[in-house]
Amino acid sequence: MGDFDFAIIYNNLPFLLEGMKTTLLLTVAAIFGGIVIGTVLAMIRLANIPVLSWVAAAYVNFFRSLPLILVIFWLYFLVPLILGRPVGAFASVLVAFVLFEAAYYSEIIRAGISSIRSGQAAAARAIGMTYSQTMRFIVLPQAFKAMIPVLLTQAIILFQDTSLVYVVGLKDFLVSAELIANRDQKLIEMFVFVAVVYFTICFAGSMIASRIQRKLPV
């Protein structure tokens, strides 16, 4: 490791930062979209509406049975076909992540909502709140608070998963680093650097998650 060339990293920092921006933007947008759709799916399943609940369950199980790479390929092919106009790789990939992650978030949120004692929901209904009011003011706020560590852990997994956009060549952090690695034949430096950066961010994230976990009342 004696001839580890730090200059190559330093010199290409702006380019790498640009890639990291894409990675982070994708992560944040996918978390947001995933949680929104995931919450809707979870609520449909818990509300026990005959056909809809079944559809939501089928959606969740279906997406959970597929590799993310395949979903990325599917959407890369489908989004332009459906929209009738070309969309950049970013948009296709974002749709893929939102649809895919929604299935996972839905399971987390469903477990979170179920963990709020049904007595509370019954009490809310008893004082005359509607189903949606009960959800909005009583169940969801508590459920989300209890779910923060798990949601954070899932966010870290999602952050790692964004590296898979490699397969459609979207210039995220990993692809940017690989471009430099190939161009300048600095494989060791670039890949080790990528690993260290991912590790630092994810490790910090998981430390925070477990700290919050410990602080939460059981």
Partner 1 sequence: MKKFIITTAISACIAIGFTGAAFADAGNSPTLKRIADRGYVTIGHRETSVPFSYIGDAHEPIGYSIDICLNIVQAIKTELGNDKLTVKYVPVTGQTRIPLIANGTIDLECGSTTNNLTRQKQVSYLSTTFITGTKIASKNGSGITEIEDLEGKIIGMSAGTTNEKALKAAIAEKGIDVKIVTVKDHSQGWLALSTDRIDAYGSDDVLLYGLISKSKNPEAYQVTGRFLSFDPYAIMVPRNDSTFERLGRIVMSDLMRSGGMETIYNKWFAPGPTNINMALSDRLKGAFDTQAYPH
Partner 2 sequence: MQYNWDWGILFRDPYIWWLVDGLQWTLTIAICAWVIAFCLGSILGIMRTSINPYLRFIGTAYVELFRNVPLLVQLFLWYFVFPELLPEEAGRWVKREMPMPGFTTTVLALGLYTASRLCEQVRSGIEAVGIGQRNAGRAIGLSETKVYIHILLPNAYRIIIAPLTSEFLTIFKNSSLALTIGVIELTGMTRQIEEYTFQGFEAFTAATVIYSLVTFTVMGFMLHLEKRLYVPGMIAAEK
Residues of this chain that interact with partner 2 (CB under 8 A) are: 1, 61-62, 64-70, 73-74, 77, 81, 156, 160-161, 163-164, 166-167, 174, 178, 181, 187-188, 191-192, 194-195, 198-199, 202-203, 206
> How many angstroms separate the Cα of 146 from the Cα of each of 10, 51, 91, 129?
41, 30, 32, 22
Which residue of 130, 132, 160, 182 would you call a contact of partner 1, by CB under 8 A? 182
Q: What are the helix (H) ranges across the chain?
A: 6-11, 13-47, 50-64, 68-83, 89-115, 118-126, 131-133, 140-161, 173-184, 187-215
80 binds partner 1 (CB under 8 A): yes
Which residue of 59, 76, 105, 159 would you call a contact of partner 1, by CB under 8 A? 76
Which range touches partner 1 (CB under 8 A), out of 28-36, 75-83, 99-107, 145-153? 75-83
Q: How far is the CB of 34 from partner 2 (least distance, A)?
A: 17
**How many angstroms separate the CA atoms of 150 and 194, rounded?**
25
Furthest CA-CA distance within the chain = 72
168 binds, among partner 1, partner 2, none (CB under 5 to 8 A by kind): partner 1
**How many angstroms separate the CA atoms of 112 and 54, rounded?**
20
Structure tokens at 67: 């590799």
Q: Which residues make Cβ contacts (< 8 Å) with residue 208, sequence separation at least 6?
A: 152
Q: Which residues make Cβ contacts (< 8 Å) with residue 205, sequence separation at least 6?
A: 152, 155, 156, 159
In the bound state with partner 2, the residue whose beta carbon lies nearer, of 52 and 187, is 187
Which range touches partner 1 (CB under 8 A), out of 81-89, 119-127, 148-156, 209-217? 81-89
Which residue of 78, 122, 123, 157 would you call a contact of partner 1, by CB under 8 A? 78
Query: How many residues bind partner 1, per CB under 8 A?
Result: 15
**How many angstroms separate the CA atoms of 133 and 42, rounded?**
16
40 binds, among partner 1, partner 2, none (CB under 5 to 8 A by kind): none
**How many angstroms separate the CA atoms of 102 and 94, rounded?**
12
Which residue of 1, 6, 50, 85 would you call a contact of partner 1, by CB under 8 A? 85
Q: Which residues bind partner 1 (CB under 8 A)?
A: 73, 76-78, 80-81, 84-86, 89, 168-169, 182, 185, 187
